[in-house]
Structure 1
Amino acid sequence: MLRRIGTKVGIAFLRFLAILPYGFVARLGDGLGWLLYQIPSKRRRIVHTNLALCFPQWSEEKRKDIAQKHFRHAIRSYVERSVQWFGSLEKLTKLVEVDSEVDLTDPDMPPTLLLGFHFVGIEAGSVFINVALQRQCAALYQPMSNPELEAIAKQARGRFGADMASRADSARVVLRWLRERKPVMLGADMDYGLRNSTFVPFFGIPTCTLTAVGRFAQVGHAQVLPFIGEVLPNYKGYRLKVFKPWANYPTGDDDADARRMNAFLEEQIPRIPEQYYWVHKRFKTRPPGMPSVYD
């Protein structure tokens, strides 16, 4: 009962924020993130651990600076769910700048996997790419522990014409979508456990990485279009950055294809390191015999 009430209050608050100026909402989230970073917490330790593992060459001062900036971005991204989930199409169109290396409106686009990465702007990018494509597309989502929140998130993420399906139904549904020539959006750069995963390097660390992207691309004869949702400076909104399809992909080698995804991230994260999702336990699943890094 208390969780249900809390969910309703939280969603009502987000709906209220959606009608306020974006700059105010973004600054509110930024300030809240700064405040929460000052309080020692499990999530703050996770951020510091991830940065120390991936960037040992950085000074301690630089890692702390990036950690604080990331915490501000991460909390801000949750507050900005307000405009992303409930803001009008007109408002989102003004906030999202599209920078694409391919013609997203090409009527002859082949079967396509839209591969999103977990930078803090992924929600804005994922919601708006439905608009930029100017066609019906589809997306996979990760089930939430709160079913009421999941239902609201699913509706919000699909409100511009996207079919939605749980990751649990992914194989059968994704292949059907690809046959129907619907661009399919998915994210695969998180630790989902050993199933359908392999250990390949990510910033030199053996990392549990999904193999689903290469397999879907191979079976569905699909191209892979990577995209990133970036947060613009000075509270100006977002950039939906879409890259060219990966060449010579998939290879049919699960390890090589998973490594390709991590290599892409290694190229992009240094541009905006404070915006990658370091609050996630990216190295939670360890190779046999290797100790946890989060104890």
Structure 2
Amino acid sequence: MNKTYRKPPRNTDFSAYRHPRWWPTWCVIGLMWLLAHLPLRLQWWLGKLAGLLALRLAARRRRITETNIRLCFPELTTEQQSALVRKSFIANGIGLMELGLAWFRNPKHFLDITRVHGLEFFEQARAQGKGVLLLGGHYSTLDLGGALVTEHIAADVMQRDHNNPLMNAVMTRARERRYGTVLGARDLRGLFRSLRQNHAVWYATDQDYGRKDIVFAPFFGIPAGTITATSRIAERSGCVVVPFSHTRREDKPGYDIYFHPALENFPSGNDLQDATLINRTIEQEIRKAPDQYLWMHRRFKTRPDPDDPGFYQRK
């Protein structure tokens, strides 16, 4: 008899994780806490080492990254593509270090090295009183960028829970300190409730979630399975969709947060047109710092024709 798998509910009570089987995870968490209190430049250096180590050892992720960059940047030479792959692993290695900063440090410590651009666009959107859907992406600054954003605006967040319950408890409790509400990835009822209360909700659509409820819209010129849920949410709630992103500076430790004008004529009533606009908007943000995007994800896993050979098959 087949049974539908249901993920167990979140348990953020640390007393539930005293059993010895959780001790290895506690050791990892303790190490993250210690590293988070090192000087930022040293953390970036350690993150670079971690990224280069992953580049050498994580063959599958390296192959996915190489494929994505080859598809999305055909104008680059082979040497330039390889250099971008290397930089991407370094950027995501630094992003791994920044998890500790986001979870265990107060983001106020980094406000003096953070610049915010276009905050007026968010304020204009929120003044309409129908809620704001913050259209983000999976950048390597994901957690720290989100924490820094909440120092300037009040926002809720939708998250995909971590597979490790203890790690998920730490992540969720850290985000609960920064965000108003931490919603599950499929908690649409909670999402609409937040929007009705004129909250801003961090939301990302730039991953491949399979063949259900999608259209194939161009992303860096490649047909990419793109969910239509963003249009449905905006249509049902009347919320305003505001693109935003965050990047790490390369010259010296520091961060930039960008808010942009709300999407116009959205939703348009045409799912493909809406998805194309969303992908183009995210693509423009990625091009600001291409190495800081999560290229390790199989963005083009779902093909328009199921019989087409996959991009990520081992040669």
With structure 1 as the length reference, what TM-score do the two structures score?
0.92
The CA distance in 2 between the partners of 1:144 and 1:62, in whole Å, is 34
Show the counterpart of 2:311: 293
1:92-133 CA distance string (max 9 Å, x none):
323432122525456735321011111211222222222211
Q: Which residue, out of 151, 154, 164, partners 1:146?
A: 164
* Matching of residue 87 in structure 1 with residue 87 in structure 2: no
The CA distance in 1 between the partners of 2:277 and 2:211, in whole Å, is 18
State the one-letter code of the partner of 2:242.
Answer: L
The CA distance in 2 between the partners of 1:216 and 1:40, in whole Å, is 37
User: Aligned ranges for residues 31-180 of structure 1 at < 5 Å?
Assistant: 31-39=49-57, 41-102=59-120, 104=122, 108-110=127-129, 111-133=131-153, 135=154, 137-169=155-187, 171-180=188-197
Gap runs ≥5 in structure 2: 1-18
User: Aligned ranges for residues 277-288 of structure 1 at < 5 Å?
Assistant: 277-287=294-304, 288=306
The CA distance in 1 between the partners of 2:272 and 2:20, in whole Å, is 45
Shift of 1:257: 1.0
The CA distance in 2 between the partners of 1:18 and 1:118, in whole Å, is 21
State the one-letter code of the partner of 2:139.
Answer: F
State the one-letter code of the partner of 1:211.
Answer: T
Shift of 1:231: 0.8
Shift of 1:60: 0.2
Show the counterpart of 1:253: 270
* Matching of residue 271 in structure 1 with residue 288 in structure 2: yes
Q: Which residue, out of 211, 218, 222, partners 2:228?
A: 211
Shift of 1:206: 1.6
Q: Tell me the secondary structure at the aligned position of residue 308 of structure 2.
A: coil
Q: Which range moves more in the overlay, 154-163 or 214-223? A: 154-163
Q: Tell me the secondary structure at the aligned position of residue 162 of structure 1.
A: coil
1:240-277 CA distance string (max 9 Å, x none):
11111111111122211111111112323222111111
Show the counterpart of 1:10: 28
The CA distance in 2 between the partners of 1:5 and 1:209, in whole Å, is 40
Aligned length: 292
| Largest Rg, 1 or 2 | 2
Check the 8 A contact 1:196/1:212 in 2, yes or no.
Answer: yes
Check the 8 A contact 1:286/1:292 in 2, yes or no.
Answer: yes
Cα–Cα, structure 1 residues 63 and 173, in superposed 2: closer, same or farther, change >3 Å? same
Shift of 1:66: 0.4
Check the 8 A contact 1:191/1:284 in 2, yes or no.
Answer: yes
State the one-letter code of the partner of 1:191.
Answer: D
Check the 8 A contact 1:226/1:242 in 2, yes or no.
Answer: yes
With structure 2 as the length reference, what TM-score do the two structures score?
0.87
Check the 8 A contact 2:242/2:260 in 1, yes or no.
Answer: yes
Cα–Cα, structure 1 residues 2 and 243, in superposed 2: closer, same or farther, change >3 Å? farther
Q: Tell me the secondary structure at the aligned position of residue 250 of structure 1.
A: coil
State the one-letter code of the partner of 2:235.
Answer: Q
Instruction: Report the identity percentage.
Output: 31
The CA distance in 1 between the partners of 2:211 and 2:172, in whole Å, is 26
Q: Tell me the secondary structure at the aligned position of residue 131 of structure 1.
A: coil
